[in-house]
Chains A and B, each alone.
Chain A
Amino acid sequence: MRLRQLALSAVVAVAALTSALTTSLAMAQAPVQFFPSLTGRTGAVAPNAAPFANGFADYMKLVNARGGINGVQTLVEECETAYLTDRGVECYERLKGRHGGATVFQPLSTGITFALMPRLAVDRIPMITSGYGRSDTADGSIFPWVFPLLGHYWIGGDVVLQHIANRSGGWDRLRGKTIAVVYHDSPFGRELLPIINRRAEMHGFTVLALPVPPPGVEQRAIWLQIRQQRPDFVILQTWGVMTTTAIRQSVATGFPRDRMFGLWWSGAEPDLRDIGVAARGFSAVMMQHGQARDSEVVRQILAQVHDRGQGTGPRAEVGDVLYMRGVVGAMLAVEGVFRAQERFGRGRHVTGEQARWGYENLNITQARLDQLGFAGVLRGPIVTSCRNHVGTALMRIHTWNGTGFDWSSDWLQADMNVINPMVTASAEAFARDNNITRRTEPGC
């Protein structure tokens, strides 16, 4: 009896699953450009990762409202990873072949990025890791499929140190100072250390590396150590609840917020809103954009997506820092397809491989950014090439004023004379270990 029920329910489940698969196959008829979205809407990082997914989806809807990519409509399908690597791999495998093939992946997790990297070349799908992942992927002649557009951690680390040096009155004033780095104890967090250590060698300051095991709700010991050792500055390379905890602890231990700096994953509204005024003075390096509530693109999203009842997330969060990062990520993904269409046929669907060419030959001018509504949000030009998969190394710093962010620095340019040799050396070591040969085509 029980066995029969079990067998029956198994048959029903299998039947349901097969029909689910067939319907999803039947849906893929109209030529659309498919942008998979790996989301982190649940789990430990949900407050930070959900706005990104919302911004990404909303901008894609805006592109469709504007008439698509020369007529080709964009399509977003989400897959929930909860920031877990094996779920991310499953999502990638699930989505990569859907709707005519994935254009580009943006995993929003360094762990998933690492796990997907070996698969990209086989599947001929590019990946944008804007502001995360491996810094040495900036060298596209060894990592042809990965694009850390707008910035990677070594650029971010260089800029935050520049900002500290500027405030102290020059690099030579840093000699003898101590800078603590509180970081997420994972490849994501450790990726920042090489540039900090390199700069420490150059300018003679001491680095105090303080790893925090994820998720990072327990940091008392680390902040006690900071109180004992009295570093002059603290840099946060944290994500999710870890950032909030770090700032709360700094309040508790009395370390001044205006000597604390985050990178772009540690300086958004969900990190600071609950602390409010007590967090005033905390600054973070931004990959160009920050909060952009009154930018043209946000106005357009509100008018053409949210006002039509198609908004993805809460209307109140439109224009927040991480929402804007999703918008910018979507914009970069779409611009690469525009560029690829110029070469492979206007108004035609492009494959992942063709899109890769587009991302490698981006030339997004200031005029184009203004046209797209990104005036004041991003600064052009963003120009990529085979040897430069980043496109630009401009950053800004914003500071929390208790309720929102104010810009507290001018545009800062990372010193590529320091970073490029590090990128080359690291990429070459990777190539050696994995038997990869540098691309030798012309212009590379």
Chain B
Amino acid sequence: MFYRENGQFKTNYKSDQQIFAVKQDRIAIIALIAFAFIGVPLLADEYLFRAILVPFLILALAAIGVNILVGYCGQISLGSGAFMAVGAYMAYNVFMRVEDMPLIVALLSGGFFAMLAGIIFGIPSLRVKGLYLAVATLAAQFFFDWLFVRVPWFTLDNPAGIAAVSNLSVFGWQIATPMDKYLFVLGFVVVFALLAKNLVRGPIGREWMAIRDMDVAASVIGIRPMYAKLTAFAVSSFIIGVAGALWAFVHLGSWEPLSFDINRSFQLLFIVIIGGLGSIMGCFFGAAFIVITPIVLNQLLPWIGRLFGVEISTAMVGHAEFMILGTLIVWFLIKEPHGLAKYWSMARHKLRLWPFPH
């Protein structure tokens, strides 16, 4: 009834090519962004900002980066944690070593260096595919783990190998309170998500998808595999690098390479698979699932236990959380192999017919 594109005629190329072609989508997205910028700060408390929303947004941003590579270009990567680390440590070096370095430039330069690293470690993708490529990108993970632990230059010769930043500000705006942090991160996420959405609709995105679907056929119709694959690695690692810099600067404040270890790479890959390969929206669903479900379970289980008069021990909750999360992941993958984003598109599809499905 409300969600019909009937009667929305496109009379010029510009309106035909806009990012959200359906008017209701446009309104919904603008409303969502407005709610995130205005409504959420009014509603959420400090815990929600610091412990849930900020990590959720940053991991969603990183997942967008991973999704471009894995979901759109079909190159499986297990090095995303490493590219986050490159972003974090290089942004830190740029920020600390250059006098009066603006924060945003430092964060973007983290993305830039991650992009370089991504291109270099993307070169094997020209020869190897699939699981073999996953193993090759694993090398990036171990190499950068090693580099940031071993070479004291990257941590400004801190004896314990700790990098720390404080007193962040942009144009005189002190990013101190949890709400400031949330808004700052949200700004980045919105800009990058819209950019990514636009990119994957454009020629370059179509090249990536052609490579993903069948690289031989793609090269026959004139797509250069090297260009397509390396641009996917570059764009993907740039976004992952910025997310890594945000994770370090805004979320953690002081960090060690362990924050970007192999588990982070797996986590990002799970986010993308559960959220939906090849879907920008899916990154947000996946990140929400992976970040929020364990925390909800962790708080819900003792409460359920108390309902029945049972005191569940902390260790038991920890183990149960693991098991339930694992079961949920398996269940979701069996029920809907295309990820949570598929539910989203199904819902939209049904909404078109609603309330008269026949």
Contacts and interface: CB of A to CB of B under 8 A. Distances in A.
A63 B300 CA distance: 29
A94 B295 CA distance: 10
Contacts of B318: 41-43, 80, 82
B80 to A, nearest CB: 16
Contact of A93 (B47, B161, B253, B304): B47
A56 to B, nearest CB: 12
Given A6-B343, A46-B315, A80-B314, A16 B303 contact: yes
B317 interface: yes
Contact of A20 (B149, B300, B350): B300
B259 A85 contact: yes
Interface stretch (B162-170, B185-193, B194-202): B162-170
A13 B296 contact: yes
A242 to B, nearest CB: 14
B303 A119 contact: no
A115 interface: yes
Contacts of A93: 46-47, 50-51
Contacts of B317: 80
Given A41-B314, A94-B47, A118 B160 contact: no
Interface in B298-348: 298-300, 303-304, 306, 313-315, 317-319, 321-322, 343, 346-347
A246 B265 CA distance: 28
B246 to A, nearest CB: 14
A265 to B, nearest CB: 15
B300 A17 contact: yes
A186 interface: yes
A433 B164 contact: yes
Interface in B263-318: 295-296, 298-300, 303-304, 306, 313-315, 317-318
B160 to A, nearest CB: 4
A211 B166 CA distance: 29
A191 B159 contact: yes
Contacts of B164: 114, 118, 430, 433-434
A82 B298 CA distance: 12
B355 to A, nearest CB: 13
A20 B55 contact: no
Q: Is the interface of A mostly helix, strand, loop or mixed?
A: helix
A134 interface: yes
Nearest to A95: B47
Which of A78, A90, A191, A214 has the largest number of chain B CB atoms within 10 A?
A: A90
Nearest to A193: B159
A187 B162 contact: yes
B350 A3 contact: yes
Q: How large is the interface on B (under 10, 10 to 19, 20 to 34, 35 or more residues)?
A: 35 or more
B160 A187 contact: yes
Contacts of A86: 55, 251-252, 259
B255 interface: yes
B303 A42 contact: no
Contact of A85 (B51, B161, B258): B258
Given A3-B343, A86-B259, A114-B256, A94 B176 contact: no
Interface string B33-44: 000000000000
Interface residues of A, number: 49
Contacts of B47: 93-94, 97
A8 to B, nearest CB: 14
A111 B46 contact: no
Contacts of A16: 300, 303-304
Interface in A8-61: 13, 16-17, 20, 23-24, 39, 41-43, 46, 50, 53
A114 B149 contact: no
A89 interface: yes
A39 B318 CA distance: 10
Contacts of B17: none
Nearest to B252: A115
Contact of A118 (B253, B343, B346): B253
Which of B46, B159, B252 has the largest number of chain A CB atoms within 10 A?
A: B159
B96 interface: yes
B254 interface: yes
Contact of A190 (B159, B165, B315, B350): B159
A209 to B, nearest CB: 11
B336 to A, nearest CB: 9
A79 interface: yes
A426 interface: yes
Contact of B314 (A39, A122, A434): A39
A39 B117 CA distance: 37
Nearest to A119: B253
Contacts of A119: 253
B258 A94 contact: no
Which of A24, A115, A191, A214 has the largest number of chain B CB atoms within 10 A?
A: A115
B166 A118 contact: yes
Contacts of B313: 41
A210 interface: no
Given A3-B346, A86-B55, A94-B47, A115 B255 contact: yes
A80 B298 contact: yes
B51 A94 contact: yes
Interface in A91-110: 93-94, 97
B275 to A, nearest CB: 16
A426 B253 contact: no
28 contacts: A13-B296, A17-B299, A17-B300, A41-B315, A41-B318, A43-B318, A46-B315, A80-B298, A82-B318, A85-B255, A85-B258, A86-B252, A90-B51, A90-B52, A90-B55, A111-B258, A111-B259, A114-B164, A114-B255, A117-B253, A118-B166, A119-B253, A134-B162, A186-B258, A187-B160, A187-B161, A191-B160, A194-B159
Given A16-B303, A17-B296, 17 more contacts: A16-B300, A42-B318, A42-B322, A46-B315, A53-B314, A79-B314, A86-B259, A93-B47, A115-B253, A115-B254, A118-B253, A119-B253, A186-B258, A187-B162, A211-B149, A214-B258, A433-B156
Across chains A and B, which 5 residue pairs bring their CB atoms closest together, nearest first? A41-B315, A42-B318, A93-B51, A20-B303, A187-B160
